[in-house]
Amino acid sequence: MEYKVALGPQHPALHEPISLRMTLDGEVIRDADLKLGYNHRGIEKLAESRTFIQNLYLTERICGICSFSHQTCYTQGVEKLMELVPPRRGLYIRVLVCELERVHSHLLWLGVAGQEAGFESFFMYTWRDREVVMDILDWISGNRVHYSMNTFGGVRRDIDELQKKKILDSLDLLRKRTEYYLNLAATEPTFVGRLAGVGKLSKEKALALCAVGPTLRASGVAMDVRKDDPYAIYDEVPFEVCTADSCDVLGRAVVRVKELIQSYNIIEFLLKNLPEGPVKVKAPRKVKENEVYSRYEAPRGENVHYIKSNGSDKPERLKVRAPTLANYPATIEMLKSGFIADIPLIFAAIDPCICCAERLVQLDNPRSGESNILTFSQLRTMANERAKKINFKKKEIAWPF
């Protein structure tokens, strides 16, 4: 006997809304379906009526964790359209913030994975360490979430010797702790036992479903935009693409911890080789007619901005594809033949970034799986009708005071 279960829009693993519908056979998931659109904000339409420089701050607000990824992807695209080459010091500082963001995002994810696996002290540890990175970002950009470091032709703030020294000191601490986590993630029997074999995604399926980022790399495919299509100064920075062959949640955890260590190496390299000179050049306001396909390796995977310009100061079209959307078809594949108890873990393993509700899902008859979807307007009508039936008219009893 198969059951259909609706999970969400308030998801147990995330603080963002997405609706999952699962066809279950006992506790085994046979099929899964995703419903999106709870937080569709129309940013692509809005971008067409804003100037390039205004869109710099709009694209940053697409995401609250990888804000710098979207902004950098957009900036690099527009710089290509403007035929601008930012000064090397500007590029070094830009990549520095990119890598600091990756460190904070991966530490955040490790904490979430620990929590979903029932290992809450791990969550406490990684989130404590994440504060170290957040403080660095706050110190060099003035902000904890939206750093606003980018501008066309470079970055908006320079860093000084004292900041450099503080970052290098913090790195020593982070490196020591991350090595401990790598050891823990690979050897702690309860943690390994909970993650190993969960959410299998074969290499062939991962490639066919166009998965990106750590999800793809944990299935044994060494695809990283920083290596394949190097932007900024990644072609002169030494680093390795981290992969795992286990194709499960454990592999995705190991890939992220290894990437943390790579990011520390990159940050150290950048600070020790930081060139002298200006951090930005002047940019034009108008952009001649052209188009660009900008790729960026965000913490969650390949981020894509496709920008068309029409000769004015506003873009003709801005298409954004965030890494999470690319990973949804793969997530459905991972959920199939898994258990209900693994849903939070599998779903959290792609490090999803969604975001506001507009409707309600009701299962009329859980036995037959018939569902009834109410739209927001129907829901409002229902609420109004119900309110009309309630008798609010003058109460007979007078208020005693």
Interhelix angle 52-60/67-82, rounded to 10 degrees, is 160
The stretch among 107-115, 157-165, 261-269, 303-311 that binds another protein (CB under 8 A) is 303-311
The stretch among 161-169, 183-191, 326-334, 338-346 that binds another protein (CB under 8 A) is 326-334
Which residues are registered as beta bridge partners of 300?
none
358: contact with another protein by CB under 8 A: yes
The stretch among 53-61, 171-179, 193-201, 322-330 that binds another protein (CB under 8 A) is 322-330
- What is the per-residue binding string for another protein in 372-401, x denoting contact by CB under 8 A? -x-xxxx-----------------------
The nearer residue to another protein, 88 or 305, going by C-beta atoms, is 305
Q: Which residues, other chains included, contact 200 with Cβ-Cβ below 8 Å and sequence gap of 6+?
A: 247, 248, 334
CB of 377 to another protein, least distance (A): 5
Task: Identify which of 101, 123, 155 has the alpha carbon closest to the alpha carbon of residue 13.
Answer: 123
The nearer residue to another protein, 114 or 315, going by C-beta atoms, is 315
* C-alpha span between 30 and 215 (Å, rounded): 21
Give the C-alpha distances (Å, rounded to integers) separating 157 from 71, 140, 163, 165, 244. 15, 8, 12, 17, 37
* C-alpha span between 55 and 320 (Å, rounded): 12
Give the C-alpha distances (Å, rounded to integers) separating 155 from 171, 237, 281. 23, 19, 9
CB of 384 to another protein, least distance (A): 9
229: contact with another protein by CB under 8 A: yes
223: contact with another protein by CB under 8 A: yes
CB of 29 to another protein, least distance (A): 18
One of 42, 189, 238, 400 touching another protein (CB under 8 A): 42
DSSP 80-105: HHHT----HHHHHHHHHHHHHHHHHH
Give the C-alpha distances (Å, rounded to integers) separating 330 from 20, 23, 363, 400. 14, 17, 26, 64
**Contact residues for another protein (CB under 8 A)?**
36-37, 40, 42, 44-45, 80, 207-212, 223, 227-229, 292-293, 295, 302, 304, 306, 308, 316-317, 319, 321, 325-326, 328-330, 358-359, 373, 375-378
